[in-house]
Each structure stands twice: as C-alpha cells, then as structure tokens.
Amino acid sequence: MDITEENVHGKWKEFILTNDHGMSVSILNFGGIITNMIVPDKYGKCENIVLGYNNYADYENNTNYLGAQIGRVASRIKDGSFHLNGSHYELAKNEGTHHLHGGPNGFHQIIWESGTHQSEHEVNLVLTHTSKHLENGYPGNLDISVTYTLNNSNELTLNYQAASDHDTPVALTNHTYFNLSGDMTDTVHNHRVQFDSRYFAELDEELIPTGKLIETTDTPFDFRNGRLLGDGLKSETTQQIIAGNGYDHYVMFGSEKAVTVSENNSGRTMKIHTNAPGVVLYTANGLDEGLKLNEGLSQKYAGVCFEAQPHPAALHHEGFPNVILQTEEKYHSYIKYSFE
C-alpha cells in the first residue's frame, strides 16, 4: 500500500493511492476530482477506467463535472429556489433558471483541505471543507469531510460526513464517468448493468422531475434482471429522447442498494454498494464532444455515471427521500466501488 503526493497545475495537489494488486486512484484536492483509476482486466493488464482531462487546466471549467465531488446538493433544483422552515431561499442559477450540482461555485470548484493516512491494509485521503452560511444561497455553515479509502481487496470507498448549524438541504455524491473497457475510444453500449430498480423519476423538457415516480416494469429503466446500456440507448421512449437519447434519470432502489456493472471484453466487473436511496444514471448523453481527455477525444456515451444520492426533487414534491439535514443530525453516506 502506498500514497504519494504531487504538485500539479502550479496550485493543486494530486494524491495517488496505490494498493499491492495494481490498482491505483488519483485524486485532486481541487474539487475532490478523481482523475485516474487504474484497474487490472481479466488478463492482468492495468488500464484507466474513468474519464479525465489530458490537461489539468481544463478542470478549472469542468462543466461536465468529470470525476468531481458534488454538493451541497447534487442534481437540479427547480427554479433555483425552495422553502424551508417558513423562509424562502434563492440559489445561484447555473442552468437557465435552475440550480445544478451545487451551483457555479459548488464543491467541484473549491480547493479542499487534505490529510492522509497509511496502514498495512489500506490508504486514506481525507478532504475537508466548510461551506459558509448562504454560500450559493444555502442556509447554514456546513462542515463536510470526504474520506477516500483504497484497500488490498480492490475496493475504493467514499465516506461522506457533514453537520450544519442551520437546517439545510444536503445531497452529496461523486460524478465519475466509468468506462470499464479501458479503451476510451469505445462507448458504454456494451456495459451490462444490474440493480434493484423499482421506480424512476419522470422528467420534463428541462430535465426537471415532474414529481411523478414511474414503475420500471416493462420500461428501459428496469435493470432488475440486468441489461446492456446499449439496449436502452436505442430506445425511443419520450423520457430518453428528452434526456438526449439516453439516461439522465433518478432511479430509486428497492430493498438492495447495490449496482453491478460488467464489460465482457475486459472481463472487469464493478459492484457499487451505498446507503443512498437511489442513483442518477447518466450515460453522458450531453458530454461535450472533442474534449482532450487522457485517452483521446471525448464523445457522446463515452462513460456512465452512477450518482448515488437522495434527490432534491424532495424539496418540491412528496414521495422522494428527504434531503434536509437537521441541525441536531449528522449526515453520513458512502459509496463503495469493488472491482473483480
């Protein structure tokens, strides 16, 4: 096990966590961004399986949120506003009239405080930050920590903790784009995905949840028996056309909060375990094309995101898991990525 630190882009630090089996994860203190994730394939060949920019400077305007930590609240908040405890809050609007992924100065755009720890069986990077009262419009001083832990079982775990001195919405997640093939010139059409998907949130033309939760049965959103992403990407349902001919939807878990993703050519399988109530499945339908990435130019469907989180549609609609962190509560969520 090892953890090293490098200065990059003249002002950031990049931490490289490495285990004894050829897996490594590279993380910036800027945005908590995962820039590389090296994982062996079925032949033992180690390749990068996440999308990242070739030039570190491109992360400064990371409108695709490649690899970034997202907060205070992931996903879109309708009209960039909400009511809480009798008060009205206006948030920074960075997608038309709406608020997306914490706003223009969200957690993907800050330099986090950092600390490391190493033991025989795992290495840890801890990033911390205090988001000030009314920053981007949110109430409360919010203390956050994100701990990245890599062990010798080829498991990367992200542990989120937070506390606030005001009641405030919190829904933290990571926005890494995965491509298990290790060939970033390939798309994710041949990635097979399986999870206990029970309901998905219907979207309007601006990708804002309407408040309606639709059963996944007999839809492209039913992954309970597993399906290739390509099958859904070929679908011409209204919901997928709205999302740019793909997935960009919040899907709620049933009893099992886990996702299994596999890619046959490489033989890689990734299992995601979380305590989040659902996941935003995003197949990079809106990924800007022609960006200079580590492995070549970006293209539509070049990666897939599994943004495990509660959803801020709860601020405007019933039926969605709560996103309000009370002052007397401690926020804790985790996402664990296991590779075989």
Single out the catalytic residue among 175, 191, 249, 311.
175
At residue 75's C-alpha, the angle toward residues 328 and 109, to 5°, is: 85
The whole-angstrom separation of Cα 295 and Cα 185 is: 7
Domains of the chain (ranges plus CATH)?
A: 2-339 (2.70.98.10)
- pLDDT the model gives residue 295: 82
For 132-177, write each residue's pLDDT tens digit: 999 999 999 999 999 999 999 999 999 999 999 999 999 999 999 9
To the query of whether residue 307 is one of the catalytic residues in this protein, the response is: yes
Single out the catalytic residue among 47, 122, 295, 307.
307
Residue 175 burial (10 A CB sphere; 0-12, 13-18, 19+): buried
Residue 135 three-state SS: helix
Residuewise pLDDT in 10s, the chain (340 residues): 999 999 999 999 999 999 999 999 999 999 999 999 999 999 999 999 999 999 999 999 999 999 999 999 999 999 999 999 999 999 999 999 999 999 999 999 999 999 999 999 999 999 999 999 999 999 999 999 999 999 999 999 999 999 999 999 999 999 999 999 999 889 999 999 999 999 999 999 999 999 999 999 999 999 999 999 999 898 889 999 999 999 999 999 999 999 999 999 999 999 999 999 999 999 999 998 899 999 889 999 999 999 999 999 999 999 999 999 999 999 999 999 999 8
To the query of whether residue 340 is one of the catalytic residues in this protein, the response is: no
